[in-house]
Structure 1
Amino acid sequence: MTRTLAVFLAALLTATPAVAETRLWAYDAADRVTQALTRGVTLRVQRGLFGAVRVETLFSTSARGSAEMRRGGPDGVRRALPAGSTETAVYSIVAQGDGRGLSRALCPGSDEAWLVLGRVRQGRPVVMQAVGRWADGTFRHCVQLSYSYRGEWAGPPNGLGAPEEPSLSER
């Protein structure tokens, strides 16, 4: 029985990379505040063996920009969320490339910024809470971004991993 279990676990672990997949899910801004800041985003997500989703990259719809995201952050990020927030997955915005600009746009004046997301599922809306840390070490909630699901990209059409989205006039 132990040998059978070991063989099953080995097969399961070797099958995991084949089952895990990268997806590109596009979202439109669902309210005026979100539209003023981003208009819409595309998320590159990694879907694991049991359906768990991890966000890897956020691409801007209205501008050619992207920010890498890494799961995790300090506890102070969750404590800064407004009362009643249900989002729990903390992602740090990597400060390289366009990430620094995204952090500054979402939390002007902060030294660092994080996005706290609810459960990301295909076909469902998503809410993101932006939280920043200021020079004095204080965490503050910056803005809530609300998005409605628009669709899924079949793959990165430009070969660079970033989706090429139509301009707003072409939609």
Structure 2
Amino acid sequence: MASTILFVVIYLILNAFLVWYDVRQGLLPDRFTCPLLWAGLFYFGWFNPALLQEKVFGAIAGYGGFAALYWGYRFLRHQEGLGYGDVKFLAALGAWHGWEALPLLIFIAALLASGVVCLMTLKCRNLQIIKNPLPFGPFLAGAGLIIAYQSIFRSIVNLQP
């Protein structure tokens, strides 16, 4: 139990650093995304090896899906539409939440980002805000927390008689 709490704290701290960096500098540094990925894989490899394969596939699917999006957009538009830090961040979230959670995670992140853009547009009454780049990392982190809360809640409900 104490080891699980330690890894949850690591997850939360690394996510907080990633959100802070992305909001302030528009970057998701490898020095936080890589430890987040490896902490997730280490946790499941050590404490729940039955789920390790699913988590490895989650990391691969997260990386592969967003990398395809990154390179496809770059090929078609000759500019970045998504930062490569977001690719690595989704891989890390895939390592923690598994491949099955990724579609919902991406949907929630996109929904959160869309809501923020709508609110910012209404507040500023300026459509020019839509043309500014929006850091997507905070929304991925928020979606990861929502997915984590949902899975923890589900496991608690299943434990009760």
| TM-score by shorter chain over 0.5 | no
User: Could you say which structure has the greater relative contact order, defined with CA pairs below 8 angstroms and 6 or more residues apart?
Assistant: 2
Q: TM-score range by the shorter chain?
A: under 0.3
- TM-score norm. by structure 2 comes to 0.24
Q: Which has the higher strand share?
A: 1
Q: Which has the higher helix share?
A: 2
